Amino acid sequence: QVQLVESGGGLVQAGGSLKLSCAASGSILSTNMGWYRQAPGKQREMVAAIIIAGSTNYADSVKGRFTIPKDNAKNTVYLQMNSLKPENTAIYYCNDDRWSVEYWGKGTLVTVSS
């Protein structure tokens, strides 16, 4: 069982930046990690992902603004969010996919004011 704890959410003005963190209770060396979000009344969607080999994938709506670095030594993956927009308001969830078993954090709320 892997526990994921997100942090770093909060209220930010449009155009601002936030950095989310996801600390895993186990090693993330051999896992695919991702960030998802769910806005009110909408389905959960993938925001960014980083696979074991280090390749990254981003939702079209965040390309060029968000990045997903990770620190294997700290078992932590981050979501650096720049140029935030009100439509980025959502609960952001960390996802750990190891050997097709998925784990989720409880989420952290990001609110972007206009």
List, in order, residues 6 or more apart from 69 with CB less than 8 Å away.
77, 78, 80
- Tens of pLDDT, residues 34-44: 999 999 999 99
- Tens of pLDDT, residues 51-71: 988 899 999 999 999 999 999
Of 101, 96, 86, give the one whose Cα is nearest residue 6: 96
For each successive 10 residues of the chain (114 residues), what is the average pLDDT? 96 98 94 96 97 92 97 96 98 94 97 97
**Polymer length in residues for the chain:** 114
Residue pair 44/93 in contact (Cβ under 8 Å)? The answer is: yes
Can you say how many angstroms the Cα of residue 85 is from the centroid of all Cα atoms in its chain? 16
